[in-house]
Structure 1
């Protein structure tokens, strides 16, 4: 059972936070293991499983970083170990950024580093703005085209995260 179904909510990149919390607390009470102490071992195991499912659902549905890949996986667009091919123009842009970061590792320059951070921040802000727009559009229309664009941005942000890790090593 998927987390949205478990909570009785529609699949969304922006689930109603109050409703998610409400469902979590209601199901936490309903499936609290202490209420089933006198039940059979099978029933106790079932309740423990449902309680665990409730906790996992709340952790995912309440966290946008976990929710995005979860919805994409639920829709069959992201699979573990997938080798997604990013667009060539994005890869070329990231190659330039990576080269600039490598240069900064060998020849530190605070001014160039600040400029690089500013450029990375701008790229990330643009991607996040586009992602927000697409997630809102999907929640309204359920468009498969929007999902494919969201998937692409998801992988781009993962790539950018690795660049941020490289940047953190340079700053250290």
Structure 2
């Protein structure tokens, strides 16, 4: 995996400075603009195109909080691709009520009930996002002894948010 933090000369963080990210993006966009290499060999043009693409991917990752969290967790080895994370039982029990309501709504559509479920999921999401922001924003300042604990908590919240995203996809399909 390419290290976007190294590309942008930044320390690994869940909260990189947006002004520095933007500045680095524009500097690298200018440096690796394909038009500046039009008279170079095909190999150099291909390399520049690859660097330009990496720059764009890095900027997109740094600009999207959820994507950034996933990226940093992968970079730090906290999650692996296609990992099967077991969500805590208490969370799954809370979600069981919502899933049951969604199943009922699939068989017996009801606009009012659908709005209640959407509101309930939004409430869960808001609390989860607040907690996730709390942990990611202070990750950089905790001492090394507590970083792994903090990382585990962020990982758990990340997987919970993915679960809620799937519920939202189901809601979107229902109307």
TM-score by length of structure 1 reads: 0.91
Q: Deviations over 1:23-68 (max 9, x none)?
A: 0111111111222222233322222221121111111111112111
- Separation in 1, partners of 2:36, 2:140: 37
Q: Which residue of 2 aligns with 1:155?
A: 159
What is the root-mean-square deviation of aligned Cα atoms in Å?
1.6
Q: Which runs of 5+ in 1 are unaligned?
A: none
Please state if 1:61 is matched with 2:62.
yes
Please state if 1:81 is matched with 2:58.
no
- Separation in 2, partners of 1:29, 1:88: 50
* Structure 1 residue matching 2:138: 3-state secondary structure: helix
How many residue pairs align between the two structures?
A: 171
Which residue among 164, 167, 171 is the counterpart of 1:167?
A: 171
- Separation in 1, partners of 2:169, 2:88: 21
- Separation in 2, partners of 1:145, 1:21: 31
Q: Which runs of 5+ in 2 are unaligned?
A: none
- Separation in 1, partners of 2:75, 2:62: 13
Q: CA deviation at 1:115?
A: 2.6
- Separation in 1, partners of 2:108, 2:29: 55
- Separation in 2, partners of 1:118, 1:22: 38
* Structure 2 residue matching 1:149: 3-state secondary structure: helix
* Structure 2 residue matching 1:97: 3-state secondary structure: helix
